[in-house]
Structure 1
Amino acid sequence: MSRGVGRIQRHMEYIANTIEAMLDLLEIIQNLPAARNRDLVALLAIGCLVALSLLRVMAAARKLLAHVHAWGRHTRHGLRENGGGRSRAARHARRGRTRLKIRFEVEHEHEREE
Structure 2
Amino acid sequence: MNILVVEDDADLCVEIVEYLERRNHQVSGRGTVAAARQALAAMVAKGELDGVVCDVGLPDGDGLRLYIDSAALAPNCRWILMSGAHDTERLRLALKDMKTKPVVLEKPLPLKLLCNALEEGRDR
> Counting strand residues as a fraction of each chain, which structure ranks higher?
2
> Counting helix residues as a fraction of each chain, which structure ranks higher?
1
Query: Which one has the largest radius of gyration?
Result: 1
TM-score, structure 2 length as denominator?
0.18
TM-score, structure 1 length as denominator?
0.19
